[in-house]
Structure 1
Amino acid sequence: MTILHVSGVTNWGGGENHIENLYYELEKSNLNVKQYIFCVKDSVFHKRLIEANYNCIPATLGIKIDPRFIFKLIRVCRSKKIDTIHIHDPTALTLSVIADRISKKLPPFIFSKKTSFEIKNRKSTLFKYNYKKIEKYICVSKAVAEVTSKRIEDTSKITTIYNGIRFSNKTTQTDFQLREKFNISPDKVIVGNIGNHIRAKNLLTFINVINDIVNTKKLKQFHFIQIGDFTKKTQIYLDKIKEYNLEEYVSLTGFINNASNFIPQFDIFMLTSQSEGLPQVINEAFYFKVPVISTNPGGIPEIIKNGYNGFLSEVNDYKDLSNHLVALNANKELRNSFIEKSHNQIINGFSSEVMASKTYKVYKSIIEKQKNK
């Protein structure tokens, strides 16, 4: 079978990590799968694919709906004899639907829904999400599947396949040590967060937690590290940090390649998102044996049971997050318990190998269905 992964994303995040892991596992499985990744030319994702020697086909996406991207997609499907197009984001879905409307001969679609954002109840949006060529919707969590089912006409097409992490490329090797680079004393507890500076990651809550810890609780033993690509929102966060006089207690690093390799340098991982599908970074913290405190959007409660293998708080509840942080830091036995349970969970059920095997079965069923038509 020949699979074309289509991405319309220009930056790097969990969705792109998922594509890389899926490609890698299918490539090494010897299942006679030929794959191409159709991506945005000169994007961060494109450059990573080149470095990793992945079979990528770049296309120009200079505007939101770029004819150059669309017509190249049509040509590639014909020349490479693609069996199935696996679409990985809403932008790629829009462009793929337009391409099919023009050519009328593209192969069947699979769409991966990776966020818990509801599908908007607009005619154009509903049209593309219910497009006739979509044979399967792969959701990264049951919560995402539930949200998706509200707007999809044929819910029998929806399935859940949890994202998995690739154990083989996990390493603690980094170009520098966080404590040295940011002059963090050995007695400080490092609380880490990884996420690009976008609305979904809700970094104002992250800053509000720090404010509560430092200025309300008067606790000075923590240092907070936030790794993620800067955006237009970054200045808002910097202004808040300055307003609360928190410069001494928090470091925003910006984008760091292979950011998950720094997780072992965290003492505690804290996620404050307001919208998630199923964030890979939590599973990576589990793998590296770092205890996790998180908010509870999307599929996060499917992998963290509050008080059992981590702490959960409601979205925006910075006071509860702050209380959990203090409680976890003060209880070594609880930290160890969280670590053991979470690590066992990730090892036994959330590998990229399992994810790829389940996805392959979806590909196979769709291709066999087309042959039998």
Structure 2
Amino acid sequence: MNENSGNRLKVLHIISGGDTGGAKTSVITLLRCLKDMIDIKLVCFIESDFTKEAKEQGIDLTIMKQKNRFDMTVVNKLTDYIHKEGFDLINCHGARANFIASKLKNKTEIKRVTTIHSDYEHDFDNNIYKKIIFTMLNKKSLKTFDGFITMAKDFKKDMMRRGFDNIYVAYNGIAKHQSHTETTKEDFCRRQNIPYKENSFVVGSATRLHPVKGIDVLLKACTIIKTYSEDIVFWIAGYGDEKYLREYEEYIRKNELEATVHLIGFVKEIDAFYQVIDINTITSHSEAVCYALLEGARFAKPSIGSRVGGIPELIEDGVTGLLFPDNDSEKLAASIIKIYEDQALAQRLGTHLHDKVMAEFTDEAMAKRYVEIYQEMLRG
């Protein structure tokens, strides 16, 4: 380890700073816990809600502003910063950070690892130009790294099939103890401007509005369930490209689902959302062990997930939740109805998932795993 760090591991984390959703939560949660174990610093290239929250969490943050994604003046600034601070390791997050760090290969001998938060083949599916150009650039950048941290065993297998090695697995984690304000379904509906029905049974999904999240699968399940019971309603929380929002709104209108499905947008009170829903659903076509599952587990919510990526590593079918085949709306609808009809099953699944997450998927466990990976890389 670097002499300047007083035998305490010193790691630089790099991320664009414009990140939202799971990647934002993952990095901030990791660094908030990691800073008590080792010396860490964070560099971002955009000033945003991400950087504001990181500062609020006491994370040592430096912003090196880019004029645009291809402004490479930050490479020399970053090189000088790395030499000045004497880091032992660099940990990148996301395509932009990967691209910039790839330019450091001949400027510093420090080992570089990147965290794979999602399947990089699908990160830019919402824009054909970005998908072609940025996916190709990210692939080239990844080939320059010394190691990779994935968030699911399935992601590790994908990376190995694509010819990468030195791949480690570190699951997302959530704080064991986090205070929240108690709320009711009625109060939440009033604050979010959602029609309130006294006997409603809420199927919730907090996700990004993006094709990879399988929202179309959930909407198709809604059309099936509508004919079964009018008491089952769906809340889809999240935001994304306006193009997809319009597509989902059009599907809802054409299938007369206005009273059944509510696109409630970004929810700041995410703890309140998970408190009042009755089922937590993850319908993604590609996913790690995602925070939406962990956050629902905190409140012991019965969960249903597609059998993809890291979801089966958290949901054991029939034990800690229910799984359905990817893209199978009929099976998803049947799983929702099964939990709706059996409250004893709902409680059992929710409790078992809560206990598993609190035992194995905590922020402390995640941070300890990262330290183990860093030490192993440095020994290697």
Instruction: Give the TM-score, by structure 1 length.
Output: 0.88
Which stretch shows the higher mean deviation, 167-176 or 268-277?
167-176
Aligned to 2:293: 282
Aligned to 1:129: 142
Looking at structure 1, the residues matched to 252 and 78 of structure 2 have their Cα atoms a distance apart, in angstroms, of 45
Task: Rate the CA distance shift 1:244–1:43 in 2: closer, same or farther, 3 A.
Answer: same
Task: Rate the CA distance shift 1:346–1:255 in 2: closer, same or farther, 3 A.
Answer: same
Looking at structure 2, the residues matched to 238 and 97 of structure 1 have their Cα atoms a distance apart, in angstroms, of 41
2:172 equivalent among 156, 163, 166: 163
Q: Write the deviation string for residues 144-193 of structure 1: whole angstroms up to 9, x where unpaired.
A: 1100111234x3x1121211111233534579942323131221011110
Task: Rate the CA distance shift 1:192–1:123 in 2: closer, same or farther, 3 A.
Answer: closer
- Preserved CA contact (<8 Å) 1:172 1:264: no
2:241 equivalent among 218, 226, 231: 231
- Preserved CA contact (<8 Å) 2:98 2:138: no
Aligned to 2:362: 351
Q: Write the deviation string for residues 16-67 of structure 1: whole angstroms up to 9, x where unpaired.
A: 2111111111223xx4x22112123223312222333422112324433222
Which stretch shows the higher mean deviation, 8-17 or 85-94?
8-17
Task: Rate the CA distance shift 1:242–1:9 in 2: closer, same or farther, 3 A.
Answer: farther
Q: 1:365 and 2:368 equivalent?
A: no
Q: Secondary structure at the match of 1:307?
A: coil
- Preserved CA contact (<8 Å) 1:117 1:275: no
Looking at structure 1, the residues matched to 58 and 343 of structure 2 have their Cα atoms a distance apart, in angstroms, of 43
Which stretch shows the higher mean deviation, 8-17 or 308-317?
8-17
Q: Write the deviation string for residues 72-130 of structure 1: whole angstroms up to 9, x where unpaired.
A: 322321232222111112221111102434xx215211111122455999986554222
Q: What are structure 2's unaligned runs of at least 5 residues?
A: 1-8, 123-130
Q: Write the deviation string for residues 222-269 of structure 1: whole angstroms up to 9, x where unpaired.
A: 121111123232111111111111122222222223524421111111
Task: Rate the CA distance shift 1:11–1:251 in 2: closer, same or farther, 3 A.
Answer: farther
Aligned to 1:112: 115
- The amino acid that maps onto 2:321 is G
Q: Secondary structure at the match of 1:321?
A: helix
- The amino acid that maps onto 2:360 is G
Q: 1:89 and 2:97 equivalent?
A: no
Which stretch shows the higher mean deviation, 34-43 or 292-301?
34-43
Aligned to 1:247: 258
Q: 1:323 and 2:326 equivalent?
A: no
- The amino acid that maps onto 2:255 is Y
Deviation at 1:275, TM superposition (A): 1.1
Q: How many pairs were matched up? A: 358
Task: Rate the CA distance shift 1:7–1:177 in 2: closer, same or farther, 3 A.
Answer: farther
Which stretch shows the higher mean deviation, 257-266 or 342-351?
257-266
Looking at structure 1, the residues matched to 138 and 198 of structure 2 have their Cα atoms a distance apart, in angstroms, of 52
Deviation at 1:194, TM superposition (A): 0.6
2:33 equivalent among 25, 48, 59: 25
Aligned alpha-carbon RMSD (Å): 2.5
Looking at structure 1, the residues matched to 109 and 262 of structure 2 have their Cα atoms a distance apart, in angstroms, of 48
Task: Rate the CA distance shift 1:184–1:75 in 2: closer, same or farther, 3 A.
Answer: farther
- The amino acid that maps onto 1:219 is S
Deviation at 1:218, TM superposition (A): 4.2
Q: Secondary structure at the match of 2:285?
A: coil
- The amino acid that maps onto 2:234 is F
Looking at structure 2, the residues matched to 108 and 261 of structure 1 have their Cα atoms a distance apart, in angstroms, of 42
Q: 1:264 and 2:267 equivalent?
A: no
Looking at structure 2, the residues matched to 258 and 136 of structure 1 have their Cα atoms a distance apart, in angstroms, of 36
- Preserved CA contact (<8 Å) 1:201 1:272: yes
- Preserved CA contact (<8 Å) 1:26 1:356: yes
Q: Write the deviation string for residues 196-232 of structure 1: whole angstroms up to 9, x where unpaired.
A: 1122212112211212211xx2420012111112323
Aligned to 1:77: 82
Q: 1:4 and 2:16 equivalent?
A: no
- The amino acid that maps onto 2:180 is T
Which stretch shows the higher mean deviation, 111-120 or 357-366?
111-120
Aligned to 2:126: none
Q: Secondary structure at the match of 2:105?
A: helix
Looking at structure 1, the residues matched to 97 and 51 of structure 2 have their Cα atoms a distance apart, in angstroms, of 15
Aligned to 2:5: none
Q: What are structure 1's unaligned runs of at least 5 residues?
A: none
Aligned to 2:54: 49
Looking at structure 2, the residues matched to 70 and 229 of structure 1 have their Cα atoms a distance apart, in angstroms, of 32
Task: Rate the CA distance shift 1:169–1:68 in 2: closer, same or farther, 3 A.
Answer: farther
Q: Secondary structure at the match of 2:103?
A: helix
Looking at structure 1, the residues matched to 33 and 341 of structure 2 have their Cα atoms a distance apart, in angstroms, of 40
